[in-house]
Amino acid sequence: MKEDSSQKIDDMDKKILELLIEDGRLSYTDIGKTLGLSRVAVRSRVNQLIDCGVIERFTAVVNSEKVGKQVSAFFEVDCEPKSLVEVAENLANNPYVASCYQMTGPSTLHMHVLVKDFKELESFINTELYALDGITRVESHTLLRRFKSRSGLKL
């Protein structure tokens, strides 16, 4: 594989990735049987995909509601430009924050928060979010129903 910012992957790599996206616990042997490769060949390809950064990590997808996180909220947080990185780092380290991204716009962060109930959401907003210096505006939206949630990139 070529080392650059976007990796060149062949059709077999794509097939391996699609199988791992669907089920990250598949064994190299099972992947090999599906694709007509040896276990060693699959392991070698997966290790290359890991080494070049195509595969960042293997993880479990947890249903937040099943572990007591009943409220899912999305925030747009506008910051003073000089405070953006500090605010983002503080939020990224907060245990309630599931994801945090810098977005286009006026120094905007997009954030997903998971909490057990609305009381905990109110506490997060009032004592943790509003306490951060450099925030100029906060807009929040609470999830009512999920129609699609995807983990992993579809190739």
> According to the model, what pLDDT value does residue 150 have?
67
Write down the domain spans for the chain. Answer: 11-52, 64-142
pTM: 0.74
11 membership: H or E segment, kind and range? helix 11-22
Was domain 64-142 assigned CATH 3.30.70.920?
yes
Give me the CATH topology for the region 11-52: Arc Repressor Mutant, subunit A (1.10.10)
Look at phi and psi of residue 59 and say left if phi exceeds 0, alpha if psi is from -120 to 50, else beta.
beta
Q: What is the pLDDT of residue 62?
A: 77
pLDDT at position 101: 96
pLDDT score, position 154:
63
Question: What is the residue-level pLDDT of the chain in tens, covering all 155 positions?
Answer: 444 456 788 999 999 999 998 888 999 999 999 999 999 999 999 999 999 999 998 888 777 888 888 999 999 999 999 999 999 999 999 999 999 999 887 779 999 999 999 999 999 999 999 999 999 999 999 999 888 776 666 66
Q: What is the pLDDT of residue 65?
A: 83
The CA-based angle 97-101-102, given to 5 degrees, is 135
What's CA 35's distance to the chain center, in Å? 28
